[in-house]
Amino acid sequence: MYEKEVTEIFHEYGLQVGSCKYSDVAFSKDTSDYKTVLTTIVPYWFEPKQAHNISIYSILPDYHIVVGEMLKSICEKLKAVFPDNIFEPHVDVSPVNEKKAAVLGGLGFIGKNTLLINEKYGSFLFIGDICTDAEINLNSSISKNSCKGCDLCREACPGKALDEGFCSEKCISFLTQKKGILTEEEKNILQRSDSVWGCDICSLFCPHNRNLPISEYALKYEDKMIYNIDKELLDGLSNGEFKRKFSDRAFVWRGISVLRRNLEILNARNEKDPV
């Protein structure tokens, strides 16, 4: 019932949508009244116009905010169709496994690098979900495509995080966001890249990410891109000032000290091995 209206609401925002049962993807067997998860993906691929030391997604304004507002707007429209039901949006922090929900919703498959890969948009995707107590079945079919198994992501990973499944402690993206003092082994892994925040290496080597369309989402924020974090950008800022100045950026999440630490680690490598 109303499946067509639900799909059309997402299409108004240029988004695909899939559905699955909440119980199939919930992290815990809670007493929630949720019955359905509506999952969508927001592609963000673009060709960076200059060298950068942060992950491509973080060059753009914080997706938690932008996609979150988009989902809130969608929820309002869904409530107009289902006035007696609850619609709760989530981006990244969710009571469900968003990647599994996206797969069950027919939005892609999981690659060897553990990322969701969409047939058209590759793995440069933001995932969002809406949990509802309404029973909505969009008749989503699981993708017949799958990871090519070429091992290019595994071979390209500087930390060898994909050699035996996935080891987050060897993943550069994880290490750039980890708080506290890094071990010497972790520092050595970080120094194998030029990244101060995040990492795109496994995605950039993935054949599913070749010839991707440029995202309208990214083009919308072309004049708001920040490509690099350096000492000058952070100088003189307290953590509070930093978070206020860059409140619309994903890289503020762990605070200024993590970024300063990462810069120091990379600078130590450069001083030891000058070009």
Please list the active-site residues: 92
Please say whether the beta carbons of 91 and 126 come within 8 A.
Answer: yes
Three-state DSSP state, 233: helix
Please name the residue that has the structure tokens 């929630």: 32
Please say whether the beta carbons of 17 and 36 come within 8 A.
Answer: no
Three-state DSSP state, 105: coil
Pairing between strand 17-21 and 36-43?
antiparallel
Please name the residue that has the structure tokens 């990322």: 115
196-211 residues labelled b (16+ CB within 10 A) or e (exposed): bbbbbbbbebbebbee
For residue 190, which of 114, 275, 259 has the smallest C-alpha distance?
Answer: 259
Please say whether the beta carbons of 52 and 59 come within 8 A.
Answer: yes
Residue 160: left (phi > 0), alpha (psi -120 to 50), or beta?
A: left
Secondary structure string (H, E, C) spanning 47-68: CCCCCCCECHHHHCCCHHHHHH
